[in-house]
Copies of this chain bind each other. A is one copy, B any other.
Amino acid sequence: MADPAAKETINIDMEPVGRHVRIEAGSTLLAAAQKAGVELIAICGGSGTCSSCLVRLVSGELSPPTLVETGALNREEIEAGYRLACQAVPLSNTRIYIPPDSFTTPQRLQIEGLEAEVALDPIIETVDLKIDPPSLNDLRADTTRVNDTLVERGLEPAEIPLELLTRLSESLRAGDWFVRLALRRGEIIACLERENSPLGLALDIGTTSLAAYLVDLAVGRTLARSGTMNPQIAYGEDVISRIHFAGSKDGRQKLQTTLIDAVNGLSHGLCEEANVSRERIVEVVAVGNTAMHHLFAGLPVKQLGMAPYVPAVSDPLDLRACEIGIDLAPGACIYLPSNIAGFVGADHVAVLLANDIGKSSGRVVALDIGTNTEITLASDGRLLSCSCASGPAFEGAHIHDGMRAAPGAIERIRIDGERIHLQTIKNQPPVGICGSGILDAVSEMLDAGILNNNGSLEKNSPLVRTNQDNQAEFVLVPSSISAHGRDIIITRKDINEIQVAKAAIRAGIEILLKEAGIGFSELDEFIVAGAFGTYLDIKSTIRTGMFPPLPVSRFRQVGNAAGMGAKQMLVSAGKRRDAVEIAGKVDYIELTIHPDYMDIFLKAMYF
């Protein structure tokens, strides 16, 4: 263990890609990225003239900024921790954050989902008004004038929020007293130019990634979609570490601001793409797990991080966009649907909504795999939900050569005797293994007899070798083929991480089935939502025992169903009511106090 050579190496964590690499002291961050197979833009070849390999120090110590850096970056940037990767040399174990623009190829994000046609049932009504201008014989205030005109049209007078009041007088005059008003729940929330329809934004705020959809509310059409990493990753990979960070000085504020900035960036990009003004966006629906929901709205998360893990708020929440710093129409509102529990959030409600769970009569399981996996079983009119701490293994963390689903990640594996067939994202030379790849690997290793039912590697297999600590490891990619010239291996510890993750999920499913008093074979449908779920090989999930052995035809991989549910709630008041009903109907099962959980979990550890 006490290897004297280890003193001269330094560990580098790279976010948001989730790559960990050990480098020799004295190497630059750019060299570290190259060694890890993370493709930073470095047009100038590392001479410091292109300033494109911008990174941000999250923790650890770097060499002082060079003259090249003080020339290329301003004081604010340097104070905020920005550096050029080709210049900065780590002096200690270091974590850096790589902004999206510094990558040559973007990380794969799941923003598509199976879109169901939803009848418009608008939250926002528009009304076109021709208003009498003021004169010395008609001295009514501007707002009185607007409301009187609404009443003349047979409508109710409306409240006007302060944000719009500060601009309404100007808008009325700019439009020569002929305007289109956007009405919402008895309020006038925007004064649009009369040829413009109101727009909406659906947001899926994941722990790892964000997805956004720009929708024309008049017709329900999606104008543009976009995704990005959740930049909070710089402050912690999973929900628990972010809750912990939120407890530090200004931590909650930092997490909120960084997220809000990213959402503003997304909406800005979407509007540019669709060539529309951001001031036309009048309504947002945002879904996320309960912690993301709370951090987005600025709510406290401390109580989410300690037993009994209760949310501050579980009912739907209506916010003014400007209250939390989201730049849209001045009076724009944000609707946050119900949460179910501390670890079953509005994103899961959106998944259930988008898949009509609870409306159909069948027996259905729906789950969304992540660091936490939320599972719901619909059976005989009941909805049972739970949350499993499945850990970050499927996102590539805690796996020796794990990584997120970025270019070069191995996502499919077939073992054919001693030959190993790989498929990588974007067909790049292999860098590491992402979640679907590691599950494939385990499944194939079981079939090939490399792995036994306990999760032990068969040391007799020609593909298994013994390392210096006398531990068995499986060589998936030899150094001659990998992008970085090192072996890509799967260790006993990696297998154990997968065992824990898949056992947690399986145990969650089993507990729900047990509570409902049905067997898995009675399930009509098994819905797998979310980015990771989309790329899974169902046969591997069954072979590893993560999912029950149903016929493959009963499985349905639905992509970003949470985003689709958010879009439905953006255009339909009825869908919002349905979501409230779904959330209210759910019986939440707390697994950690369920008497059978530990037995089932331990049994599910075997393959």
Contacts and interface: CB of A to CB of B under 8 A. Distances in A.
Contacts of A5: none
Given A310-B142, A315-B143, A588-B139, A300 B342 contact: no
A415 interface: no
Nearest to A290: B141
A121 interface: no
Contact of A298 (B162, B168, B307, B590): B162
A165 B312 contact: yes
A314 interface: yes
A144 B590 contact: no
A167 B300 contact: yes
Copies of this chain present: 2
Interface in A159-180: 160, 162, 165-170, 173
A189 to B, nearest CB: 15
A593 B590 CA distance: 75
Interface string A312-331: 11110101000110000000
Contact of A307 (B136, B165, B173, B590): B136
A302 B166 CA distance: 11
A36 to B, nearest CB: 39
Contacts of A154: none
Contact of A141 (B302, B339, B593): B339
B165 A313 contact: yes
Contacts of A134: 303, 308, 310
A173 B139 contact: no
Contact of A139 (B136, B160, B317, B590): B590
A341 interface: yes
A480 interface: no
A140 B339 CA distance: 11
Nearest to A311: B141
A140 B314 contact: yes
Given A134-B308, A136-B593, A308-B134, A297 B141 contact: no
A276 B122 CA distance: 48
Given A162-B298, A173-B303, A312 B168 contact: yes
A311 B298 CA distance: 35
A25 interface: no
B310 A162 contact: no
A139 B299 contact: no
A135 interface: yes
Given A134-B310, A323-B162, A142 B297 contact: no
Interface in A89-120: none
A298 B161 CA distance: 12
A357 to B, nearest CB: 21
Given A134-B308, A134-B310, A298 B166 contact: yes
Given A139-B588, A307-B136, A297 B162 contact: yes
A142 B312 contact: yes
Interface in A116-160: 134-136, 138-144, 160
Residue of A143, A312, A341, A590 with most partner-chain B CB within 10 A:
A312
A141 B315 contact: yes
A300 B590 contact: no
B313 A141 contact: yes
Contacts of A140: 310, 314
Contacts of A298: 162, 166
Interface of A: 134-136, 138-144, 160, 162, 165-170, 173, 297-300, 302-303, 307-315, 317, 319, 323-324, 339, 341-342, 588, 590, 592-593
Given A134-B303, A144-B315, A169-B303, 10 more contacts: A138-B308, A139-B310, A141-B339, A142-B310, A142-B313, A143-B313, A162-B297, A165-B312, A169-B302, A170-B300
For the complex of A and B, the 5 pairs showing the least CB-CB separation, nearest first, are A141-B314, A141-B311, A169-B300, A134-B310, A169-B312
